[in-house]
Amino acid sequence: VLDEADRMLDMGFLPDIKRILAALPAERQTMLFSATMSPRIRALAEEILRDPEMVTVDRQKPASGIEQSVYLVAQDRKTPLLTKLLQREGMDSVLVFVRRKADADRLARAVRRAGVEATSIHADRSQEERFAALEDFRTGRCPVLVATDVAARGLDIDGISHVINFDVPY
């Protein structure tokens, strides 16, 4: 199973994928999953799959009841704006995405200084630290979780009231 094939190619893992596939038996079932179907992904699929079935899912719209807002603000005003927004009523369980690991820690500290409990999660934190941060967020002990894209996939947390892209996602 090759999951997130588009990301694997973006991150330069094609030689590793080919090395793994060369070590596998010729008679096998191979599944390739990708969010995009770029020419590079198509070429990879043609090379490694036999009689593939293609399943596509239409682009999804936000679920009904989801409200989206955009705030155009200068870089130096983003943190003060975020801390003001987090102090509003109803900001009970807020997931904030940033681009860089250092920004996750820095922003979580700034939010705490503004009087709102916050923690961070990113690839440089140990598995125990990530688990503790997620548990604090999940249970409500910490209403704000600042995260890199390490949290963008695979998190299953009920009751998130707001998702904020502090930085424009890649």
Is this prediction's pTM over 0.75?
Answer: no
* Model confidence pLDDT, tens digit, residues 52-104: 888 877 666 666 778 889 999 999 999 999 999 999 999 999 999 999 989 99
Residue carrying the six token digits 């997130």: 4
Q: What is the mean pLDDT of the chain?
A: 87
- Asked whether the predicted pLDDT for residue 169 surpasses 90, the reply is no
Give the bridge partners for 94, in sequence order: 144, 162
Q: Round to whole Å and give the CA distance between 20 and 18.
A: 5
Residue with tokens 């604090």: 136
Q: What is the pLDDT of residue 61?
A: 67
Q: How confident is the model at residue 5 (pLDDT cuts 50, 70, 90)?
A: confident
pLDDT at 155 over 90: no
Averaged over 165-169, what is the pLDDT? 86
pLDDT of residue 45: 80
pLDDT at 126 over 70: yes
Predicted pLDDT at 59? 65
Percent of the chain having pLDDT more than 90?
A: 44
Nearest to 116 by CA among 146, 142, 147: 142
Q: Answer yes or no: are the C-beta atoms of 121 and 131 closer than 8 Å.
A: no
Mean pLDDT value of segment 34-51? 80
Inter-residue contact 50 to 56 (CB < 8 Å): no
Confidence check: pLDDT of 139 > 80: yes
What's phi and psi for 31, nearest 5 deg? -120, 135
- What pLDDT does residue 48 have? 80
| Structure confidence at residue 154 (pLDDT) | 65
